[in-house]
C-alpha cells in the first residue's frame, strides 16, 4: 500500500473540508476533522475492499462466517489508521493542523453492539482474520441502540439509551440491493409432488426486510479488507392504505412499521440471565435467516456448484447458542428451496456448522417455549421437531446405556427447546474457550453428549488482538518493545518471548517503569477530570474492570477494601503501600444484587476518598460507563489485574490477557484462562489464591460449606458484614442489608467468605512485592513476554486449521 505522508494527509483533510463543508481547516470543529479524516481513510480502504471481494469471488476460497448476536467493536478510526499503516502520519498531520489526535478520535461514538466478553471476542477475531489474510466475515445485527450508557447518580447505576446512530456512521455502507425477506408466523401447507417428495408452502406470513449495512474489516498492512455485515429490519412492502386515505389503516401501518423496526431496535443488555422474550427470539431468527440466505446466494454466485457441496466452500461458526436457529434454517432452505432430501440436507448442514460455548452458568442457558417457536416460525419448529425425533431414536436404538438420559439430552423436552442441545447435534465441532472450561464441558456440563460425540469436542483458548490492545492502546510500551527485540513481534506476537532475555536488564526495566508511570499519570488525569478525585500515580493501580456479576466477585474486592480501611482506622500509621482501587462495570438493568454492589463500591469510595485520617493511603475509583474506549485508557495503566471469579465459573476471561499484555500482574483464582497464564509465567510471576474448581464443584455437589461459621469465627468478616447490615457503611441511611442476607442466608453461593482470608494474604504479598521495584518490573516483563500466546492471531490460526480448514489468501 502506498503510504501517505503527513503532508499529503494534511492536504487531503484540508481539501475534504473545503469540498464537504465549505470551510477552512482553521474554522473546523473536532467533529468535522473526524469526518474528514475518516473519509480520507475510507478512500484508502474502499479499493482494497472491492479487490478483496473480487479476489474471493474469482478464486472461490473456502470462507468462514462468524455468526454472532454481538460485535463489540468500539471505535474504528484509530484502528483503521493503524492497520492501514497511517496512524503515525495521521497523528502528525492532526497535530500540525492544530488539533489533538486524542480529541479527534474521541469524536467517534463507540459501537457498543455487545454486552461484554463474547461480543468483544467476536471483534478481536475479525481483526485477526483479516490481519492473517483469512477469508472470514462477521454477520450481526445493526442495533439502532447499543448497550446502554451508564451514569452513576448518588452512587447508583442509571441507564441511558445509547443512540449511537444519531450522527452518520462513517464506516458503514448500506447495500439495499442485497436485502432479503424474512418470514414470521403464517401457516405451513404440505403437498406431495409427483415424484413422491414433499413440498412445503407458507401462507399468510409476516414479511420483514433485512437490509445489510457493511462495515470494512481492515487487515494489518496487508491490503485485505473483509466484511462485517450488519442487518437492519425494515418493512418489506409499502402498504397502500395511506394513499387511500384510510385513517385507521394508516395508524395500523405506523404501528406495524414500528414493530418491524423494533427487531433491530436494541441490543438486549443482559448477559447474566436468560429471559424468554419473543422480541429476542425474533432478533435471533432475523439474524440467522438473513445470513444463511445470503451465504447460500453468495456460494452459488461464486462457485457454480450444487449446494450439496456447500461444506467444501463454507463453514459457519455460531457464537454461543444465540444463532443456533441457523441450523434448522439451513435445513429449511436446502429442503424447501433447494429440494434436497432430509438426509442430504442434514449431511450438508452438520458438515457446515461449528458451535462455541461461552458459559456453563445454568441461568444463561437458552431454552425457548416450544409454543413460541411454533407460533413465530412454524416451519422451523417442524424441522427442529424432526431433528429431535431422529436424534432421540438414535439414542434409543444405538446407545442403550443412555436411554434413561433421553429427557436430559432431547432437544425438545417438557415443552421447551434446548438450544445448546440443538447446536451440539447440528454441528461437527463444539468448543469451549479455555482449557478448564472445555474440560468442564466434557466431564460435567455436556458429559453425555461427549459420550455420544467424543470427536466433536475441542478446546480453543480465547485471545485478544495485540494490535488494538498493545500497539494502539499502549504505543509507548509497543515502541519500547520494538526498541528491545525489533519489530517482528508485531506480525508474530509469540516473538514477545524474546523479551525474556532482557527481563533482568536494570537499565531497561527502568524504561518499562517510566512507560507505566506515564500511563498511570495519564489515567490519573482522566480520573481527576471525570471524578474530581486526585490519585497518586505512585500507588498500586489495582484494577477490576468487567461486567458486574456475582460470580466475578467484585464484592470480594470491595470487602478487601473495607477491611483495609477498618485496619487503617484502627491504626492510621500502618505500613501500607498506597493503593488505588479502580473499578468499572455495568450491571444488567434488572440485576438487583449487581446494582447493590455498584452502590456499595461507590459508597465506600465516598467515605474512603475523603477521610483525612488515612492519609491518602487508599483511594477507590468507580469509572462510569465501562466500554471498549475506557478499557483502552485503563489497561495500559494497570499494575494489578483482578481476576477473582469463583473457580469454575469464568469460562475464560479476556481482560486477564489484555492486562497481562500491558505488564500488569494477575491476582486471581485458578479459573478460566488464568490457569493458562499461571502455567506460562510460573507461580512466581502471578498471585494465585482461593478454592480450586474441583473444590468448588465438590462443595456444590456434597455440601460442607457454611458461610455463617466463617462469620462467627473471623472478626474481620463479622465486622464488615455487620457494617453492611447496620448501615454503618452508609451515608444518608444507605444500608446493604440485601448483600448481608444474601451472604448469610443463602450461604454465600460464590464463596466470598471462604476465599476472603487467602485473598487478604495474597494482597499482602502484592503489597510487599511492589516495594521491590526491580523485581516487580522483572515479573511484569516476564508476563508481557508470555502474552503473545494470547494474541487472537494464535487462536484464529487454531480455529482455521483444526475446525474451519481454511487457508490464508
Where on the chain is the footprint of ligand 26V (CB under 6 A)? Answer: 115-118, 121, 268, 270-271, 274, 320, 358-359, 364, 433, 462, 650-654, 672
Minimal distance in Å, beta carbon 70 to ligand 26V? Answer: 7
Q: Say which residues have a Cβ less than 8 Å from residue 629's Cβ, sequence separation at least 6.
A: 74, 75, 106, 110
Is the separation of the CB atoms in 93 and 9 below 8 Å?
yes
Catalytic residue among 52, 438, 603, 654: 654
Q: Is the dihedral angle over the CA atoms 134, 135, 140, 146 positive or is it negative?
A: positive
Minimal distance in Å, beta carbon 562 to ligand 26V? Answer: 26
Q: Which is nearer to ligand 26V, 284 or 609 (CB)?
A: 284
CA dist 465 and 131 (Å) reads 10
Minimal distance in Å, beta carbon 649 to ligand 26V? Answer: 8
Minimal distance in Å, beta carbon 96 to ligand 26V? Answer: 41
Catalytic residue among 546, 549, 786, 789: 546
CA dist 660 and 781 (Å) reads 9
For 251, the grid coordinates are: 395508524
CA dist 426 and 418 (Å) reads 12
Active site residue 617: no
Minimal distance in Å, beta carbon 144 to ligand 26V? Answer: 18
Active site residue 547: yes
Active site residue 546: yes
Catalytic residue among 358, 560, 579, 754: 358
Minimal distance in Å, beta carbon 483 to ligand 26V? Answer: 32
Phi-psi region for residue 690, left (φ > 0), alpha (ψ -120 to 50) or beta? left
Minimal distance in Å, beta carbon 274 to ligand 26V? Answer: 4
Active site residue 552: yes
Catalytic residue among 552, 579, 586, 786: 552
Residue 591 parent element (H or E): none
Distance of alpha carbon 535 from its chain centroid, rounded?
30
Burial of 720 (0-12, 13-18, 19+ CB in 10 A): buried
Q: Which is nearer to ligand 26V, 675 or 782 (CB)?
A: 675
Minimal distance in Å, beta carbon 438 to ligand 26V? Answer: 12
Q: Which is nearer to ligand 26V, 433 or 597 (CB)?
A: 433
Backbone phi, psi, residue 173, to 5°: -125, 125
Q: What is the DSSP string of 31-42?
A: HHHHHHHHHHHH
CA dist 299 and 306 (Å) reads 10
Q: Which is nearer to ligand 26V, 48 or 283 (CB)?
A: 283
Cα 677 to Cα 656, 660, 796, 799: the distances in Å are: 9, 9, 18, 20
Active site residue 358: yes
Is the separation of the CB atoms in 558 and 600 below 8 Å?
yes
Helix, strand or coil, per DSSP, at residue 349? helix
Within 13 Å and on the Cβ side, how many CA atoms surround 704?
A: 8
Q: Which is nearer to ligand 26V, 349 or 662 (CB)?
A: 662
Is the separation of the CB atoms in 808 and 132 below 8 Å?
yes
Q: Which is nearer to ligand 26V, 29 or 273 (CB)?
A: 273
Q: Which is nearer to ligand 26V, 93 or 545 (CB)?
A: 545
Q: Which is nearer to ligand 26V, 250 or 268 (CB)?
A: 268
Minimal distance in Å, beta carbon 101 to ligand 26V? Answer: 31
Q: What is the DSSP string of 644-675?
A: -PPTT--S--SHHHHHHHTTPEEEE-S-TTHH
What does DSSP say about strands 180-184 and 206-218: parallel, antiparallel, or unpaired?
antiparallel
CA dist 637 and 659 (Å) reads 9
Q: Which is nearer to ligand 26V, 641 or 652 (CB)?
A: 652
For 245, the grid coordinates are: 386515505
Catalytic residue among 142, 547, 786, 789: 547
Active site residue 62: no
Catalytic residue among 553, 658, 786, 789: 658
Residues assigned a catalytic role? 358, 546-547, 552, 654, 658
Amino acid at each position: 500500500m502506498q503510504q501517505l505522508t503527513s503532508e499529503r494527509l494534511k492536504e487531503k483533510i484540508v481539501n475534504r473540508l473545503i469540498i464537504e463543508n465549505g470551510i477552512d481547516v482553521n474554522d473546523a470543529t473536532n467533529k468535522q476533522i473526524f469526518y474528514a479524516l475518516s473519509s480520507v481513510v475510507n478512500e484508502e480502504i474502499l479499493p482494497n475492499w472491492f479487490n478483496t471481494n473480487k479476489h474471493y469471488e474469482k478464486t472461490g476460497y473456502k470462507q468462514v462466517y462468524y455468526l454472532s448476536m454481538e460485535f463489540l467493536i468500539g471505535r474504528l478510526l484509530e484502528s483503521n489508521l493503524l492497520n492501514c499503516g497511517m496512524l503515525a502520519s495521521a497523528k502528525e498531520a492532526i497535530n500540525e493542523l492544530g488539533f489533538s489526535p486524542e480529541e479527534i478520535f474521541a469524536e467517534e461514538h463507540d459501537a457498543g453492539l455487545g454486552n461484554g466478553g463474547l461480543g468483544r471476542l467476536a471483534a478481536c477475531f475479525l481483526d485477526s482474520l483479516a490481519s492473517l489474510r483469512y477469508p472470514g466475515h462477521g454477520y450481526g445485527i445493526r442495533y439502532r441502540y447499543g448497550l446502554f450508557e451508564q451514569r452513576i447518580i448518588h452512587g447508583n447505576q442509571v441507564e441511558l439509551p445509547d443512540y449511537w446512530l444519531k450522527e452518520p456512521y462513517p464506516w458503514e455502507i448500506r447495500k439495499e440491493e442485497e436485502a432479503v425477506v424474512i418470514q414470521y408466523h403464517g401457516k405451513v401447507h404440505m403437498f406431495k409432488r409427483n415424484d413422491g417428495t414433499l413440498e412445503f408452502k407458507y401462507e399468510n406470513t409476516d414479511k420483514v426486510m433485512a437490509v445489510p449495512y457493511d462495515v470494512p474489516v481492515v487487515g494489518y498492512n496487508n491490503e485485505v479488507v473483509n466484511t462485517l455485515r450488519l442487518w437492519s429490519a425494515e418493512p418489506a412492502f409499502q402498504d397502500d392504505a395511506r394513499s387511500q386515505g384510510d385513517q385507521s389503516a394508516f395508524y395500523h401501518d405506523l404501528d406495524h412499521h414500528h414493530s418491524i423496526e423494533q427487531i433491530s431496535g436494541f441490543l438486549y443488555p443482559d448477559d447474566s440471565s436468560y429471559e424468554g422474550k419473543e422480541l429476542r427470539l425474533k432478533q435471533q431468527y432475523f439474524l440467522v435467516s438473513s445470513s444463511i440466505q445470503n451465504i447460500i446466494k453468495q456460494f452459488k454466485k461464486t462457485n457454480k456448484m450444487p449446494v450439496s457441496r456447500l461444506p467444501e466452500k463454507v463453514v459457519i461458526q455460531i457464537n454461543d447458542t444465540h444463532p443456533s436457529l441457523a441450523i434448522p434454517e439451513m435445513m429449511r432452505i436446502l429442503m424447501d428451496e433447494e429440494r434436497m432430501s432430509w438426509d442430504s440436507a442434514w449431511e450438508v448442514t452438520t458438515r457446515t456448522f461449528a458451535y462455541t460455548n461461552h458459559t456453563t452458568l445454568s441461568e444463561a442457558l437458552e431454552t425457548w417455549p416450544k409454543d413460541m417457536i411454533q407460533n413465530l416460525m412454524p416451519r422451523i419448529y417442524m424441522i427442529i421437531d424432526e431433528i429431535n425425533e431422529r436424534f432421540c431414536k438414535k439414542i434409543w436404538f444405538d446407545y442403550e446405556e443412555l436411554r434413561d438420559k433421553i429427557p436430559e439430552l432431547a432437544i425438545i423436552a417438557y415443552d421447551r427447546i434446548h438450544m445448546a442441545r440443538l447446536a451440539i447435534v447440528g454441528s461437527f465441532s463444539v468448543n469451549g474457550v479455555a482449557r478448564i472450561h472445555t474440560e468442564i464441558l466434557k466431564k460435567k456440563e455436556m458429559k453425555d453428549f461427549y459420550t455420544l460425540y467424543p470427536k466433536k469436542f475441542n478446546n480453543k483458548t480465547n485471545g485478544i488482538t495485540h494490535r488494538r490492545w498493545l500497539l494502539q492502546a499502549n504505543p509507548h510500551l509497543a515502541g519500547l518493545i520494538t526498541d528491545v527485540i525489533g519489530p517482528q513481534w508485531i506480525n508474530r506476537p509469540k516473538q514477545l518471548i524474546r523479551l525474556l532475555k532482557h527481563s533482568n536488564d536494570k537499565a531497561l526495566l527502568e524504561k518499562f517503569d517510566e512507560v507505566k508511570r506515564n500511563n498511570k499519570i495519564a489515567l490519573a488525569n482522566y480520573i481527576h477530570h471525570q471524578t474530581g478525585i486526585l490519585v497518586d500515580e505512585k500507588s498500586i493501580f489495582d484494577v477490576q474492570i468487567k461486567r458486574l456479576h456475582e460470580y466475578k466477585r467484585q464484592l470480594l474486592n470491595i470487602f478487601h477494601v473495607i477491611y483495609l480501611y477498618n485496619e487503617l482506622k484502627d491504626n492510621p500509621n500502618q505500613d501500607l503501600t498506597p493503593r488505588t482501587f479502580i473499578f468499572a462495570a455495568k450491571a444488567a438493568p434488572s440485576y438487583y444484587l449487581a446494582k447493590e454492589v455498584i452502590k456499595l463500591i461507590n459508597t465506600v469510595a465516598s467515605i474512603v476518598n475523603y477521610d483525612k485520617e488515612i492519609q491518602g493511603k487508599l483511594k477507590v475509583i468507580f469509572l462510569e460507563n465501562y466500554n471498549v474506549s475506557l478499557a483502552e485508557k485503563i489497561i495500559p495503566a494497570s499494575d494489578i489485574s483482578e481476576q477473582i471469579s469463583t473457580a469454575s465459573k469464568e469460562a475464560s476471561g479476556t481482560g486477564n490477557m489484555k492486562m497481562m499484555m500491558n505488564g500488569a500482574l494477575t491476582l486471581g483464582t485458578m479459573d478460566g484462562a488464568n490457569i493458562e497464564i499461571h502455567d506460562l509465567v510460573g507461580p512466581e510471576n502471578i498471585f494465585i489464591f482461593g478454592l480450586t474448581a474441583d473444590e468448588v464443584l465438590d462443595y456444590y455437589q456434597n455440601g460442607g460449606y457454611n458461610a455463617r461459621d466463617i462469620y462467627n469465627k473471623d472478626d474481620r468478616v463479622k465486622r464488615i458484614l455487620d457494617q453492611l447490615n447496620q448501615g454503618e457503611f452508609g451515608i444518608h441511611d444507605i444500608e446493604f442489608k440485601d448483600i448481608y442476607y444474601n451472604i448469610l442466608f443463602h450461604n454465600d453461593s460464590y464463596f466470598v467468605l471462604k476465599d476472603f482470608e487467602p485473598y487478604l494474604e495474597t494482597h499482602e504479598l502484592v503489597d510487599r512485592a511492589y516495594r521491590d521495584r526491580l523485581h516487580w518490573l522483572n515479573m511484569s516483563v516476564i508476563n508481557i513476554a508470555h502474552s503473545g500466546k494470547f494474541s487472537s492471531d494464535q487462536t484464529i490460526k487454531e480455529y482455521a486449521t483444526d475446525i474451519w480448514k481454511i487457508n490464508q489468501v
